[in-house]
Chains A and B, each alone.
Chain A
Amino acid sequence: MGKNTPSILIVDDEEMVLSSLRGVFTLQTDYDVHEASTPKEALSYVERARVDVVISDFLMPEMNGIELLKEIKQLQPEAIRLLLTGYADKENAIKAINEVGLYHYLEKPWDNEALLNIVRNALSEKGLRQQLTTKVRELDQLLRQHGELEAKHRSIERELEMAARIQRSLLPERFPELSGFRFANLYEPCEALGGDFFDVMEKDDGAVLLVSDVIGHGVQAALTTMLLKGVFQESADRIDEPTELLEEMNRRLHAVLPSGMYAAAAVFYLSSGSDHIAYANAGLPYPFVLRKEKRLDEIVLPGAPLGLFAGNLVSYESRQIVAKTGDVVVVGSDGIGSVVAGDGAMFEDEELRKTLEELSGRDGATIIEEAMKRALAFGNNAPLPDDVMLVAMTRT
């Protein structure tokens, strides 16, 4: 007997009734049929085994069918109960339907087809109730999980907020007072934590500027920016030349970053009052020089990002950028260029250069603010797809 085979208990003190009911069910169904010829026997069965449907006679010597079915309800409330009754007892049967919650009554002599149909409907109702109970339980469980996850989500958000505060504190509080230069920057992480980063270090009679973009955003990228800051501060302090600085940073980052993590970066060595900026690039978008006389120069200098390849495989070149009074050097991550318009065009395709050319001749702070505004408008003010960071160096 299978676990899902319906189990039927028939109770009657007349052997003839039992055997004819048994005959009907055995011949026409696959139900498990159990019999009891006294109410006592029936109760002892219900105490130890699951039953789906109980069919009980009304008139029996020790206990009548209604009392029996009432007791069975206590033992197995889900079992569906049917009463078999002679014509004379019909009034009692009908009363019991409402009082004891019987499913149906059957008059003797019964019609086999009607009996089978009633039992079938009874079983299907019991099945529906069971499915409903299962679904209610499933729903409760999902709602509980949802509650737990929401609490976890809130605590993660709080932690991320804290982490974001720490990350912002890693950015330099102010730019150095460097004769002949004025700095400005703009930083918009697309999530709480960002992968874009810049740092600046005063050195001799000048400064070293690092601009970088760690792959990805979120926690991983944020942790890498912290590492980057440490490596930059320590290396730039003792290295006076941009290619050497990038090579040293690459070597050290490659040794510690998990494989696949890397950072694009560019470094700029500035000297007080000098028109010459020494620049080396490790995969960051090329800087632009916005000339005072309203011209745009792009300083093309390819290079492998930091941390991706072993030190002996990578070397960098440097370029001298000449910036005269009124010129502005603008550098940043690829964030602003990756803003997408409704038609799929990207800001970096054409708009970025056009915008910067139009803005040349103005002050660095105004240029990056205005460029950001136009990029957002280009993307219909949709949320940023990536962190955006821009640094402007205005030669004064």
Chain B
Amino acid sequence: MEDSESPVIVLVDDEDMVVTSIKSLLTLETDYHVEGFTRPADALEFIKSNRVDVVVSDYLMPDMDGISLLTQVKEIQPEATRILLTGYADKENAIKAINDVGLYQYIEKPWENEDLKIVLRNGLEKRILLQRLQDKIAEVNKAHGELMNLQKDILKAFA
């Protein structure tokens, strides 16, 4: 099976060619584990039961548009970074969605491979930073609680 340490990227586009080409780019040039889907419903199914780091979705798809898909992804895994892939004509919608739905970034079609890689790298970095921050906050809270208990133990000796 896959190395659980490598970042998981979910790719959704109704055009099989887009999925295949991005997937082969990332498989060749990065250590990401890429899950590609041509149907948004299948992607959602996967995201419901697997931890994912970044979701890249096409905007125009027959069953469900990319913004609705990414909105649902936010409900399921709020920490995942969400990126929209969009044709020039839909740029306005993409920009609006960045603010409305809290998308990380949009990438215009046709994309430049280097650009795509930078956006993914930065999006992933954000995801990792968020995770580390949450972990640290939990650690701080735990350490704080233990300190309080120790103080209580010491005070008890003098009660």
User: Which residues of chain A have a CB within 8 Å of any CB of chain B?
Assistant: 94, 97, 103-105, 113, 117-118, 121, 124-125, 128-129, 131-132, 135-136, 138-139, 142-143, 145-146, 149-150, 152-153, 156-157, 160, 191-193, 216-220
Knowing A125-B129, A149-B147, say if A219 contacts B158 (CB, 8 Å).
Answer: yes
Contact A121 B156 (CB under 8 A): no
A-B contact count (CB 8 A): 80
A97 vs chain B, min Cβ distance (A): 6
Contact A97 B118 (CB under 8 A): yes
Beyond contacts A121-B104, A128-B133: 20 other A-B pairs, Cβ-Cβ < 8 A, are: A97-B114, A97-B118, A117-B95, A125-B122, A125-B126, A125-B129, A128-B129, A132-B132, A132-B136, A135-B136, A135-B137, A139-B140, A142-B140, A142-B144, A146-B146, A152-B154, A153-B154, A156-B157, A217-B159, A220-B158
**Can you list 8 A-B contacts with CB-CB less than 8 angstroms, sorted by A residue number?**
A97-B118, A117-B95, A128-B129, A153-B150, A157-B157, A191-B156, A218-B159, A219-B157
Q: Chain A: which residue is nearest B114 at the CB level?
A: A94
A117 surroundings in chain B (CB, below 8 A): 95, 98, 105-106
How far apart are the CA atoms of A124 and B103 in the complex, in Å? 13
A160 surroundings in chain B (CB, below 8 A): 157
Tally of chain B residues near chain A (CB < 8 A)? 31
Contact B126 A121 (CB under 8 A): yes
How far apart are the CA atoms of A127 and B143 in the complex, in Å? 24
User: Chain B interface mostly helix, strand, loop or mixed?
Assistant: helix
User: Which residues of chain B have a CB within 8 Å of any CB of chain A?
Assistant: 91, 95, 98, 104-106, 114, 118, 122, 125-126, 129-130, 132-133, 136-137, 139-140, 143-144, 146-147, 150-151, 153-154, 156-159
User: Chain A interface mostly helix, strand, loop or mixed?
Assistant: helix
How far apart are the CA atoms of A149 and B125 in the complex, in Å? 37
A209 vs chain B, min Cβ distance (A): 29
Q: A129 contacts which of B118, B129, B151 (Cβ < 8 Å)?
A: B129
Contact B140 A121 (CB under 8 A): no
Knowing A121-B122, A138-B140, A149-B151, say if A128 contacts B130 (CB, 8 Å).
Answer: yes
A217 surroundings in chain B (CB, below 8 A): 159
